[in-house]
Chains A and B, each alone.
Chain A
C-alpha cells in the first residue's frame, strides 16, 4: 500500500504508558506529560495511529476504532495506560510555530500489526518545551484505556 499524507483535518492517536500520564498526588489522571511524545534514542519518527483511517463514522467512533487497532497491535496496552488524541493541523502548526520551526510530515505508513499506523517525520529529538506545549494544548485530549469499552469513552481535558 503506497504511503500518503494524513489529511490536516484528521486526528492521530498515540498510546501513552501509565508513567507518562500527568497525575495529581492521588494518581488521578489530568492529561499527558510532554515525555509521552519523546522519541527513544533509536526512533527516527514518532508513531501514532490515524483515527479516520478506520472510517467508523463520528470522530469519537474513529478514535475508538483506532484504540482497538492499537490494542490488537504488538503494543502491550497496560490497564492504567491512556491514549492522546491530536488534530494533525494543530500538531503541525504547534511544531512549526516553535522557534526551531519543526516541519512535521504525518505519513500513513501501515504496518503488519496496525494498518492505520501513522509516522510523524521531522519530530524533534531534543525539544522538551515543545513537547510540554503539545501535551498542554494541541495533543492534550486524553482517553484512559479503562474507559474505552464498546461504546462509551470519557475524555479528560
Chain B
C-alpha cells in the first residue's frame, strides 16, 4: 500500500504576477478608463482574497502573504500599462516592504483599496522612477520620491483613488512646501507648478547616504 502525501497549496508569493499573458494597448483615453474599471472590480474583496476584512484569527504571515498575492494579481490586471522590468522591480519592492521579519506586528497589512489607489496613481503619472514604498500604521501605502537636492514628494494612498500629498522643494534658494488631498486623476495637474519631472525622471535619482 502506498502513501500519497498532499501538501497545502502554498505557493511562493514572490512568483505571483511575474508570468503574464497580456496584449499591450496603445490608446491613452480608453486605456485609462479600462484601468479604472479593472481596478474598481479588483478592489472588491473576493472569497479567495478578502483582503479588506481579513480574519483576525489569521496569522500575520498569512495576512501578509494574502495581501502580497492580492497586490500582484491586481497589478497583473493592468500589466499592459506597466513596463515589464518596471513592474518586476515594483514586485520586489512589495516583497521587501511586506517581509514578515521586518513587519510591525501591530500594523495591519496595507489594504487592497490603498493599493488600487497606488496603482492608479502610478499608471496615471507614469513615472520613470519608481517611488520608495512605505506604509502607515493604519494600512495605507506611502509612495515617496527624493532628489539629490532633497526635494521631497510624499504621497499617502487613501481609499477611493484619493491621494494625500506633501512636497518640499527648493526654488531660487527658498524652501517651499505644499500639501493637499487630491483625486489621483488630478495629481499631475496639481503637481505641475513644482515641475514634478524632478522626482519622476531617472536622471534626478538621489544617492543614498
Contacts and interface: CB of A to CB of B under 8 A. Distances in A.
Interface in B23-76: none
B177 interface: yes
B15 interface: no
Interface residues of B, number: 38
Contacts of A157: 209
A128 B101 CA distance: 28
Given A19-B134, A23-B132, A23-B134, A30 B209 contact: yes
A25 B129 contact: yes
A18 interface: yes
Size category of the A interface is: 20 to 34
Contacts of B146: 22, 24, 30-31
B81 to A, nearest CB: 18
B132 A24 contact: yes
A24 B148 CA distance: 11
Contacts of A132: 152, 154, 166, 168, 179
A50 to B, nearest CB: 23
A20 interface: yes
Given A18-B97, A128-B179, A133-B177, A78 B209 contact: no
Given A18-B103, A30-B208, A133-B177, A25 B130 contact: yes
Contacts of A35: 134-137, 142, 156
A29 B146 CA distance: 11
Interface string A32-44: 0111001011000
Interface in A1-48: 17-31, 33-35, 38, 40-41
Contacts of A29: 208-209
A21 B134 contact: yes
Nearest to A76: B105
Nearest to B97: A19
Contact of B154 (A19, A28, A33, A81): A33
Nearest to B168: A136
A100 B137 CA distance: 23
Contacts of A41: 138
A78 B99 CA distance: 11
**A-B CB proximity, top 9 nearest:** A28-B208, A23-B132, A156-B209, A25-B130, A18-B102, A19-B135, A17-B104, A132-B166, A78-B102
Interface of B: 89, 93, 96-97, 99, 101-107, 129-138, 142, 144, 146, 150, 152, 154, 156, 164, 166, 168, 177, 179, 205-206, 208-209
25 contacts: A17-B102, A17-B104, A18-B99, A18-B102, A18-B103, A19-B104, A19-B107, A19-B134, A20-B136, A22-B132, A22-B146, A24-B206, A24-B208, A25-B89, A25-B132, A29-B208, A30-B208, A33-B134, A34-B166, A41-B138, A78-B102, A79-B101, A81-B102, A128-B164, A133-B177
Given A22-B134, A23-B134, A31-B146, 5 more contacts: A17-B103, A23-B144, A24-B206, A29-B208, A34-B166
